[in-house]
Structures are given as C-alpha cells and as structure tokens.
Chains A and B, each alone.
Chain A
C-alpha cells in the first residue's frame, strides 16, 4: 500500500486534516504518518521528522508526501536528502503538488483502495477539480 506522510507547520492542523480524511475511509486503513511542528513544539516543519515519517510508512509501494505552506516543501526536499545520506529507502517518494486538505483526502481514499503511487499522486494533484467545477471555474 502507498504510504502517506502529512507535513504541516501545525500539529493541530495536521491532526484535524487527518481526522477529516479518516471520516472518508469508513474504517479501511491507510499507512499514514504525521510530521508537524518542530522538535520543541513550535510552529514549523522538521526535515528529520519528515524523514522518519517516510521510513515509517514505506512498505515498498511508494510514499506520497502532502505538504502545507512553502517551507514545508523545503523541509520535505531536505528530508529526501537526509534519507539518501542515511542509506535511503527502496520506495519511490513523491512530493505532492496538490492542496493540503483536499489533496490529503483524495490521496488517503485512493491509497486505501490499494492503488499505485501514480494514481494516488494524480488524485491528490487534481483534488481541487470538484471545487473548480462547483464554482464554475475552468478545470485545468
């Protein structure tokens, strides 16, 4: 199963987003780990925690990393470098370009069906489409 890592500046925001996603899963399970906040509980992201979370959910089928604000992306990219320096993981790891909340929901639901990484990542990337359609904007 594709693993999902939730990277947020805020532990509360991450926990709430994970709870929302869990409500969509109706009891099916997803390999999901959260890396949110700094080591001393401040707002921010921590590349070492992200690397540990990736290791935790990597089972050979790939890992999708879902991030919130800009520096969460920097920390996630640094996490990939830290993993590579420490021997790496077998899994392909992808950083999602999708939105944080909608992307996480789409990724979790898709991963729970046993879909491959391409599909999980694709669903997260296009997770704003329903909102765009609803509001009449052009779907890109």
Chain B
C-alpha cells in the first residue's frame, strides 16, 4: 500500500522531533521558566540527542524496536517528568505497533492512541490540566477522524488539533506538575509540555509527508 508509513519514515519522525526540539530549545525552556523549573527544552534536547545517537549506533530493524529504543533512552536521560511521560508514550507505541516494518494508517492510529493513553495514565492528567495531554488528546482524535483520508491527511489534521490544543493551554490554571504549585499564577502562560507535544505531532506530519 502506497499509504503505509515505513520504519524509515518513523525513524525520520523521531530524528525530526530532535531537530525541532533543538531549534526550539530556548523557547521551551523560556515557557518552562515562566511556570516551572526552566529545564524542559534542555532536558528534552539532551534526551533526544541521546536517542539519535542510540539509533545511529544500533539501527532498529522493526517499529517496536525503534520505539523501544526511543523510550528507554528518554527514560534514562531526560530527568524531568517529560522523561517517564514521553518514555511511556513510546513504550506503549512499541507494544501496539509490534515487530513490523510498516504501519498502515489504522495501525498507526492504534499505536498513537496507545501512546497517548499511556501518557494520560502515567500523568494521571485530565484534559485542561494544562499538560501534554491538552495537545496530544485532540491530536489523536483528529488523526482517527481523518484516518480514512490517508496518513498524510490524518497527520495534517492532527497537527492543527495539537497546535490549537497547545494554544488553548494559555488561560488554564495548571493542575499537574511543578506548575500546579503556582495556582492562579500559572494562567496566562503556554504550557511547555503541550508545546513540545505539538512539535512531536508536527515532526510526524513532516516525516509522513516526506518533507
């Protein structure tokens, strides 16, 4: 099937995520400085740089192997809450995808859904808690809704939903994570986790589009 997403594209997704996070490192850290401990960009950049190195040193032969390498590397190198959260996303993605080298759009939707459900469970987060979930949940729902139009269209829909969800975190009062200690003072700032999650979705769309 022409529309299948390949192992190479999924690897390009992860590598593209690293490039986007590196380019936005200061932006993510500045967002985190406003309502957290000012390390989100630095932590995620360190973790993803280690991921890219790990993938170069032992190139994965299957989608689950790829996602598991990403997960275990992030878990051991990121440090902050985004380590176990993105780690759980990729672990669940690996289990749902299995030892294959391509995913059709339905299989990709299932793997993404498993990943997002993992983030929700790990973070005990609800929508509008001002977290990664506010970008990821609308993104996977939009992906599923548009899946019949093919992976590229589904990814574009997911990007629009993720970025709208990210932007909608600004007025929210944080109810999870370090920002929740700030209470009302967390309102008026974009959530850094939602911002990096929107980059994750954009990187997928770029990789699937072959950009």
Contact = CB atoms under 8 A, between A and B. Distances in A.
Question: Does chain A bind chain B?
Answer: yes
Contacts of B83: 38, 44-47, 71, 75
Most chain B beta-carbon contacts within 10 A, residue among A43, A45, A71, A82: A71
Query: Interface residues of B toward A: which range?
Result: 20 to 34
Contacts, number: 67
A81 B94 CA distance: 14
Contacts of A27: none
Interface string A53-90: 00000000000000001110011011001100000000
Interface stretch (B24-32, B72-80, B108-116, B135-143): B72-80
18 contacts: A38-B79, A40-B77, A42-B43, A42-B46, A42-B77, A42-B79, A44-B80, A46-B76, A47-B76, A47-B83, A48-B76, A71-B80, A71-B83, A71-B84, A74-B122, A78-B84, A78-B87, A78-B122
Interface string B33-54: 0000001000100100010000
Nearest to B72: A48
B78 to A, nearest CB: 7
Interface of B: 39, 43, 46, 50, 72, 75-81, 83-85, 87-88, 91, 122-123, 177-178
B85 A74 contact: yes
A40 to B, nearest CB: 6
A48 B123 CA distance: 18
